[in-house]
Amino acid sequence: MKRCRFVLGFAIVALLGVVLLGCAPEAPTPGAPSPGSELPTIHWTFQVVEFSHDDWTVTANDNFSSKVAERTGGKFSIRVALGNELGIQMDEFVNALGEGAVEMAWISSGSVEGAMPFEAIYSLPFLIRTDTDAIKVKHATDFIRTPILQKLGVTEITPDIFSVFAPQELGTREPIADLTDLDGLKIRVWRSSDAKLLEALNAKPLYMPLGDVYMGLQHGAIDGVVTGCECYLNTSFHEVAKYYYSIQLAPGLCLMPVNTEAYEALPEEYRTILREEATSMIQVIREKRPLALEDAYNRLISHGVQIFYLTDEEAKVWQEKARPIWEEWTKGDPQFQEVYDAALEAIGL
């Protein structure tokens, strides 16, 4: 009788165990907050440079935002704001970021020369011409950059949170007769070093908001524009400027920092997820960059744009015109010479 009671009791305990196990909650997704946790709901704005969610870099940004939301159970959402959404000009991004108007932003080297003049190193024509060289120079000059960003209230969340734009090239309304003599062509630029080079080649560089360039080309207020091929397509410049010259000016550098105060206020779980997903996003961008450039050229051709390349002789003339610009730049500030020397050493010149 005692043995029967023991067996019956054991069976009841086993049955209860099975029931309890069956009612247990599922294990949380790796990296996600645990069920019932009191982590806050947080909304950030991520300011990007490009003007369309169809742009492949913005698609990578959107995927980054979705993954952060997924891993935090929707509690940490990041809105991706396009270049024309918030009314913030590109050269205002870093200040808007430091002031907390946005919590994250793509910051291009050419647009922060006011706050960090040494960043013009990336714009010196025919000096840094590849993604690899731009990355090397970035790391070699972090000893100057990081303290300045800190004073602005801005933080890079990983050492590798950056990407480079497409090389800057030239599109025009009419064909250029001689690429070594631009013969008074009015060309919109956005970087001072490009302006100096084009001026040395007898062009008339001028500055104009990107949103006004299409009408300027259409009505002849300007003859051409310097930009990357993807921007050229996204802004529909190919409709009014059918001649495209692959002059391969410096691609520039793009950082992706965050507002320091907003970042430090995040729970550690969120900071870890943000860093991991940002690093993954940059890797995706690096892998897609060569493919995206090839695709952009093919799309230009499909729209009836003619693409021209500098000959070796023409490239030699452009580089000869560029060298005095490098040397002149180093005299502007002792810091410039320091950055220049670090850059030359980094890329082996």
**Whether the Cβ atoms of residue 42 and residue 27 lie closer than 8 Å to each other:** no
Would 341 be classed as within a structural domain?
Answer: yes
Same domain, yes or no, for 219 and 327? yes
Same domain, yes or no, for 245 and 257? no
Q: How far apart are CA 104 and CA 68, in angstroms?
A: 14
Say if residue 186's pLDDT is above 70: yes
Would 240 be classed as within a structural domain?
Answer: yes
Q: How far apart are CA 254 and CA 232, in angstroms?
A: 18
Give 318-336 pLDDT, tens digit per residue.
Answer: 989 999 999 999 999 999 9
Q: Which of 105, 35, 47 minimizes the C-alpha distance to 72? A: 35
Q: Which pTM does this prediction carry?
A: 0.70
Would 327 be classed as within a structural domain?
Answer: yes
Same domain, yes or no, for 197 and 278? no
Same domain, yes or no, for 179 and 113? no
The mean pLDDT value for 166-193 works out to: 94
Q: How far apart are CA 346 and CA 349, in angstroms?
A: 8
Same domain, yes or no, for 199 and 224? yes
Same domain, yes or no, for 148 and 172? no
Would 181 be classed as within a structural domain?
Answer: yes
- Based on the structure, what is the number of domains in the chain? 2
Q: Which of 344, 349, 335 minimizes the C-alpha distance to 118? A: 335
Would 161 be classed as within a structural domain?
Answer: yes
Residue located via tokens 């300027």: 216
Range of the domain at 267: 42-165+252-290
Percent of the chain with pLDDT over 70: 87
Same domain, yes or no, for 148 and 215? no
Would 325 be classed as within a structural domain?
Answer: yes
Same domain, yes or no, for 86 and 196? no
Would 238 be classed as within a structural domain?
Answer: yes
Same domain, yes or no, for 246 and 271? no
Q: How far apart are CA 117 and CA 235, in angstroms?
A: 28
Same domain, yes or no, for 276 and 304? no
Q: Which of 256, 237, 242 minimizes the C-alpha distance to 162? A: 256
Say if residue 34's pLDDT is above 60: no
Would 243 be classed as within a structural domain?
Answer: yes
Q: Which CATH number is 66's domain given?
A: 3.40.190.170
What is the pLDDT of the chain when averaged over all its residues?
87
Residue 31: its pLDDT value, please?
52
Adjacency order of strands within the sheet including 104-105: 76-81, 42-47, 104-105, 258-259, 154-155
For the ranges 9-18, 22-31, 69-78, 267-276, the lowest mean pLDDT is seen at: 9-18
Same domain, yes or no, for 204 and 261? no
Give 203-218 pLDDT, tens digit per residue.
Answer: 999 999 989 999 999 9
Residue 1: its pLDDT value, please?
46
The mean pLDDT value for 80-86 works out to: 93
Same domain, yes or no, for 102 and 63? yes
